Amino acid sequence: MGKQTMFKIDRETIKSSLPFLAEFVRWIKRRRNELSALPRHLCRKRVQKNNPQLNHGIIKVVFLCQYIPAWSKNKQLHEALSSDERFETILLCVPNRISANQLRDPDDLSNDTYDYFHAHGYHDAVNALVGRNEWLDLKAQHPDYVICNRYDRPMPIPYTSSELSKYVKICFIAYSGVALLRPDECMFDKPFVANIFCFFAESEGKKKEVLRWNSLLCKLKLSNAVCCGIPAVENVCKAKSDPCETWDYSYNRFRAIYAPRWTTDPAWGGSSFLKFCDTFFRIADKHPEIAVLVRPHPLMFDHFIQIGLMSKEEVTEYREECNARQNIRIDESKEYHSTFWNSSVLICDFSSIILEYFVTEKPIIYLAYDEKLEYTEMMRAILSGCYIVNNEHELENTVQDLMNGIDPLAERRADVCKQYLIGDGNTLAGERMKQFLIDRYSD
């Protein structure tokens, strides 16, 4: 009888515990990325605490450089650090030819990233590639921080966040486009974010989102998120007087930049390229006084070929169509801010360059797509100053109006720019990030 009672009690106890167990399982699932990253963060603390070559008074910061157009997001912080004797900087240059975390061609030891920075006078540039899929041992450099602005997929294995976070604090500077999407909009690799020591957010909403994702790590003071403003804004402003050789100034008075996105997936903003690519040929042929600069996302053509939307022959044919015309061409240059200032209009899909171009207060034609994105208040304000078009007819009419000086949204753009973009919050972003690195040096 006693045994039956005991069994009954145990069974009831188990039943009463099921809601708690179910909630615990849900908590584990929500925190799985953090729990996976936790041992790496603790390992990093031990390494940095016990390393006699650290904490010697000079803060060594490594910028992980690969995608050169994204350098503008890091440039402001690099300038703030390189002019401060308390810091030592290294630009670790990784070639942009990596797939599945390895070089596509192990026998090709060229490094376009290193060549670019070296040619532009960056004396702290270092070639990360030292052999066939062999990489500079970054741990042996004893860095205090590594600054990233790309995720793990295009990085060699030794420079992925899961490897770096074992011995160095990783800080991430987000793309400008992050500030344009509402909190919870999935634009990040959450396992990657769990490995980050600090996420430099461009908006309070995104900061709160990351703090929620990494709530356990933040409570343990192993991860942080701070809002430092939008670094790209200052870089655009500084480029206003830079020389620009993109355009033939003697020939074209109206200069349009067309920037299509790399993917047709509505969850990532969608791409207008296949819908409008022929339209730009017709506009260029009809209006010889227009110069059209096609600036596709660097991933676009390869991605379209990979998923079967275009063949290699079709891409080649498109390039030849551009080359056959005097007033339309493809721009694949590494830098683009001076091109912005010397243009007349930006025509684009959803992209971080909307925010950067908006700083110039020049008109933007936004090509509507069946995107499934929810925008922040800032993006909605920016779109209120853009000309939103849905088809070829609307695009041609809007271009014609702008050519004739009809720009009714000019005043609206100026107001939005002053409210959201121009000010100390963005022009001092580099200094704010630098102060964080100083304050959290001993963590």
Structure tokens at 168: 């160095």
On the 0-12 / 13-18 / 19+ scale of CB atoms within 10 A, 270 is buried
Nearest CA to 223 out of 233, 232, 212, 234 is that of 212
**Integer Cα distance of 443 and 440 in angstroms:** 5
**Integer Cα distance of 153 and 188 in angstroms:** 12
Distance of CA 390 to the CA centre of its chain: 27
Residue 353's pLDDT is what?
A: 87
Nearest CA to 358 out of 209, 203, 179 is that of 179
**Integer Cα distance of 408 and 355 in angstroms:** 20
Residue 196: count of CB within 10 angstroms of its CB: 27
DSSP state of 154: T
Which of the following CATH numbers is that of domain 236-420: 3.40.50.1970, 3.40.50.970, 1.10.3720.10, 3.40.50.2000? 3.40.50.2000
Domain extent listing, the chain = 29-230+425-439, 236-420
Q: H or E stretch including 203?
A: none
Listed as ranges, residues in the chain with pLDDT below 70 are 1-25, 27, 53-56, 175-188, 248-252, 370-372, 423-427
Residue 1's pLDDT is what?
A: 44
Residue 283's pLDDT is what?
A: 93
Q: Residues 225, 198: contact at Cβ < 8 Å?
A: yes
Question: Under CATH, what is the fold of the domain 29-230+425-439?
Answer: Rossmann fold (3.40.50)
Length, in residues, of the chain: 443
Residue 415's pLDDT is what?
A: 93
**Integer Cα distance of 199 and 361 in angstroms:** 29
Place of tokens 């227009």: 290
In 181-241, which ranges are E strands? Answer: 198-201, 224-227
> CATH topology of 29-230+425-439 equal to that of 236-420?
yes
Helix, strand, or coil here: 123? Answer: coil
Q: Which amino acid, one-letter code, is at 316?
A: T
Residue 99's pLDDT is what?
A: 78
Sign (positive/negative) of CA torsion 356, 90, 192, 41?
negative
Q: Residues 150, 171: contact at Cβ < 8 Å?
A: no
Residue 185's pLDDT is what?
A: 45
**Integer Cα distance of 246 and 291 in angstroms:** 10
pLDDT in tens, 235-262: 788 888 888 877 765 566 899 999 999 8
Q: Do β-strands 345-348 and 364-367 pair in parallel, antiparallel, or remain unpaired?
A: parallel
Helix, strand, or coil here: 172? Answer: strand
Nearest CA to 147 out of 229, 258, 59, 219 is that of 59
pLDDT in tens, 421-442: 876 556 678 888 999 999 998 8
Q: How many CA atoms lie within 13 A of 147 on its CB side?
A: 28
